[in-house]
C-alpha cells in the first residue's frame, strides 16, 4: 500500500498559497517544495551529502535518460534508483515522453506511443504508457508521472486539442498499467495556451484516481504574458486536497507567483544549469560571476546567504575558478544556487505560516524586477508563431 499522503496545514488568506506536507515511502518534505533535477542519476556536481546540506529534500530523475543508460533493469537489479544514486529521500520521476521528443533521434509517434532512437548510441526503443510505468516501477521512484504528450509551443488550437486528447488517452493507459505498491501516480494537465482546453483537461483528469496533478506544457518557450494567465487559470481547477506540481518551472519570480496561485511542487534545471554557466541567484538579484567587477571582490556571492559557498569563498575566488574552468566552479556555484532555491522555498513556507506571504512575494518580485502573476494580462489572442524562437531552444517543459 502506498505511504503517499498529502496534508495541508495552512492556507494563506490573501492568495492561493498553501503550506503542506508530502509523505512518501522515503520520508516527507514540506511544501511548497523545489525538487533538484538529477537527470542521469546525479544532480550535476553535487554529492548526496552536499544536496542535504544545501537543503534539498526531494530529487527528480529522468526516465528517458535512465532507461537508456544504465537502463532501468540494471538500476532495479542494483536495488532501485535511491540506492543506486545514494539518495534516501523522496524521488519523483518524469514519464520520459518529453525528453523523447526533445532529445531522441528519428522519433515516430502513433496514438499508442513512440518509437525512437537513443541519442547516445542510436539503438531503437519504444516508449508508451505501459513501458513508462514499467520503467518508473523498476526505478522505484516515490512519485510516478503519467505518460503524456507535452504540447509544443506554438501550436494551433487544433494541434493543442489533438495533443490533449492523446494525453488523456495515455493517462488512462498509465492508470491501467500503474501497479501501485509504495508509489504514487500523478496525472498531467495539458491544453496549451487555451484556457478552455485547460479547463477541459483538468475536468477530465481530475475525475481519475491520481494521487496528485501536474500542470504540463508551460515554460516551453512562451512569454510570461501567456504563461502567467494560463497558470493562474489552471491551478485553482485542480483538486484542493491533492498536491499540484508545475513541471519545469522556473525562476525565483515564477516560483513565488506560482505558489501564490496554489502550486505545491516544482522542478527546474535553472539553478543547476545556470550555476555551471557562471550565473547565480542571490538576494541582490542575478549575478554573473565572470563579470570584471567580481575579479577583485572580497564579497560573498550572496552576502545574505549562509551556504558553504557563501560562507567560505569570495566572488574573486569564484571568478578565478570559473575562468580557470575548474570543476570546483560548477560545484560551488551549484551548491549556492540550490541553497538559494531551498532557502527561497523555506522562506515562502515560513511566510505562509506567519501570514506575511504577500509581503515576501512582493519583495522577491522586486528583487528580480518581475511581474506579479495577478496583474499580467494575456495578449488578445495566443500567437501561433513564437515571438522569440531562441527562447524555445532549451525548453524545460514537464
| Member of 86, 122, 379, 387 binding a copy of itself (CB under 8 A) | 86
| Member of 9, 13, 78, 111 binding a copy of itself (CB under 8 A) | 78
| Member of 2, 42, 107, 386 binding a copy of itself (CB under 8 A) | 42
| Member of 215, 255, 310, 331 binding a copy of itself (CB under 8 A) | 331
339 binds a copy of itself (CB under 8 A): no
Let me know: does 61 contact 290? Beta carbons within 8 Å.
no
CB 71 to a copy of itself: min, Å: 10
Let me know: does 61 contact 91? Beta carbons within 8 Å.
yes
Neighbours of 389 (CB within 10 A): 10
Given the DSSP bridges, would you call strands 124-128 and 105-109 parallel, antiparallel or unpaired? unpaired
Catalytic residue among 128, 149, 254, 267: 267
Residue 4 assigned as binding residue: no
295 binds a copy of itself (CB under 8 A): yes
338 binds a copy of itself (CB under 8 A): no
392 binds a copy of itself (CB under 8 A): no
203 binds a copy of itself (CB under 8 A): no
| Member of 17, 58, 59, 85 binding a copy of itself (CB under 8 A) | 85
Q: What is the DSSP letter of 147?
A: P
Residue 23 assigned as binding residue: no
| Member of 3, 10, 25, 40 binding a copy of itself (CB under 8 A) | 40
278 binds a copy of itself (CB under 8 A): no
Helices (H), the chain: 48-53, 63-68, 72-77, 81-85, 97-103, 129-139, 157-177, 195-206, 224-234, 252-260, 270-276, 308-312, 315-323, 327-353, 357-367
- Which helix (H) or strand (E) segment holds residue 371: the answer is none
∠ Cα 69 249 152 (to 5°): 75
Residue 86 assigned as binding residue: no
CB 60 to a copy of itself: min, Å: 16
Catalytic (active site) residue 267: yes
Residue 190 assigned as binding residue: yes
CB 343 to a copy of itself: min, Å: 19
Stretch that binds a copy of itself, among 21-29, 68-76, 208-216, 257-265 (CB under 8 A): 68-76
Residue 94 assigned as binding residue: yes
Nearest to 260 by CA among 337, 371, 174: 371
**Alpha carbon separation from 380 to 16, 152, 224, 370, 391 (Å, rounded):** 26, 20, 14, 21, 21
308 binds a copy of itself (CB under 8 A): yes
Cα gap 282→324, rounded to integer Å: 23
Let me know: does 258 contact 46? Beta carbons within 8 Å.
no
- Which helix (H) or strand (E) segment holds residue 189: the answer is strand 184-189
- Which helix (H) or strand (E) segment holds residue 246: the answer is strand 244-246
Site for a copy of itself in 45-64 (CB under 8 A): 45-49
Residue 307 assigned as binding residue: yes
CB 78 to a copy of itself: min, Å: 5
| Member of 5, 291, 296, 356 binding a copy of itself (CB under 8 A) | 296
Cα pseudo-dihedral 392, 63, 212, 90, rounded to 10? -120
84 binds a copy of itself (CB under 8 A): yes
| Member of 13, 323, 356, 363 binding a copy of itself (CB under 8 A) | 323
Q: What is the DSSP letter of 249?
A: B
| Member of 11, 44, 109, 117 binding a copy of itself (CB under 8 A) | 44
What's the residue count for the chain?
Answer: 398
Adjacent-strand bridge partners of 218: none
Cα gap 253→343, rounded to integer Å: 14
Residue 86 φ then ψ, to 5°: 70, 30
Residue 105 assigned as binding residue: no
Number of residues that bind a copy of itself (CB under 8 A): 37
Catalytic residue among 94, 142, 302, 343: 94
Alpha-carbon torsion (330, 332, 333, 339), positive or negative:
positive
80 binds a copy of itself (CB under 8 A): no
**Which residue positions form the known binding site for Zn(2+)?**
305, 307, 310, 336
Q: Which residues are known catalytic residues?
A: 94, 267
Residues that bind a copy of itself (CB under 8 A): 40-42, 44-49, 69-70, 74, 77-78, 84-86, 295-296, 298, 308, 312-314, 316-317, 319-321, 323-324, 326-328, 330-332
Amino acid at each position: 500500500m502506498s505511504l503517499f499522503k498529502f496534508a495541508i496545514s495552512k492556507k494563506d488568506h490573501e492568495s492561493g498559497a498553501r503550506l503542506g506536507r508530502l509523505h512518501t515511502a522515503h520520508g516527507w518534505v514540506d511544501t511548497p517544495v523545489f525538487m533538484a533535477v538529477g537527470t542521469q542519476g546525479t544532480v550535476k556536481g553535487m554529492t548526496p551529502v552536499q544536496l542535504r546540506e544545501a537543503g534539498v529534500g526531494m530529487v527528480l530523475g529522468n526516465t528517458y535518460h535512465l532507461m537508456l543508460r544504465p537502463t532501468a533493469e540494471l538500476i532495479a537489479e542494483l536495488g532501485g534508483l535511491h540506492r543506486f544514486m545514494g539518495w534516501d529521500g523522496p524521488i519523483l520521476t518524469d514519464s520520459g515522453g518529453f525528453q523523447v521528443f526533445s532529445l531522441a533521434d528519428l522519433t515516430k509517434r502513433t496514438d499508442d506511443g513512440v518509437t525512437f532512437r537513443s541519442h547516445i548510441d542510436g539503438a531503437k526503443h519504444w516508449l508508451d504508457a505501459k513501458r513508462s510505468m514499467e520503467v518508473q516501477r523498476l526505478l522505484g521512484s516515490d512519485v510516478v508521472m503519467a505518460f503524456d504528450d507535452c504540447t509544443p509551443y506554438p501550436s494551433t488550437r487544433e494541434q493543442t486539442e489533438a495533443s490533449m486528447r492523446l494525453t488523456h488517452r495515455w493517462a488512462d493507459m498509465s492508470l491501467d498499467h500503474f501497479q501501485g505498491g509504495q508509489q504514487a501516480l500523478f496525472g498531467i494537465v495539458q491544453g496549451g495556451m487555451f484556457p478552455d482546453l485547460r479547463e477541459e483537461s483538468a475536468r477530465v483528469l481530475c475525475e481519475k484516481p491520481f494521487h496528485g496533478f501536474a500542470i504540463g506544457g508551460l515554460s516551453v518557450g512562451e512569454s510570461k504574458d501567456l504563461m502567467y494567465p494560463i497558470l493562474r487559470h489552471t491551478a485553482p481547477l485542480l483538486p484542493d486536497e491533492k498536491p499540484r506540481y508545475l513541471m519545469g518551472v522556473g525562476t525565483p519570480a515564477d516560483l513565488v507567483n506560482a505558489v501564490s496561485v496554489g502550486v505545491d511542487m516544482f522542478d527546474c534545471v535553472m539553478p543547476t544549469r545556470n550555476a555551471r554557466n557562471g550565473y547565480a541567484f542571490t538576494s541582490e538579484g542575478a549575478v554573473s560571476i565572470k563579470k570584471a567587477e567580481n575579479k577583485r571582490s572580497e564579497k560573498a556571492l550572496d552576502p545574505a546567504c549562509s551556504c558553504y559557498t557563501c560562507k567560505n569563498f569570495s566572488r574573486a575566488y569564484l571568478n578565478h575558478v570559473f575562468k580557470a574552468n575548474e570543476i570546483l566552479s560548477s560545484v560551488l556555484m551549484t551548491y549556492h544556487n540550490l541553497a538559494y532555491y531551498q532557502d527561497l522555498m523555506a522562506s515562502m513556507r515560513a511566510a505562509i505560516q506567519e501570514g506575511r506571504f504577500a509581503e515576501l512575494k512582493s519583495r522577491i518580485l522586486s528583487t528580480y524586477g518581475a511581474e506579479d502573476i495577478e496583474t499580467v494580462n494575456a495578449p488578445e489572442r495566443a500567437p501561433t508563431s513564437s515571438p522569440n524562437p531562441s527562447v524555445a531552444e532549451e525548453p524545460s517543459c514537464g
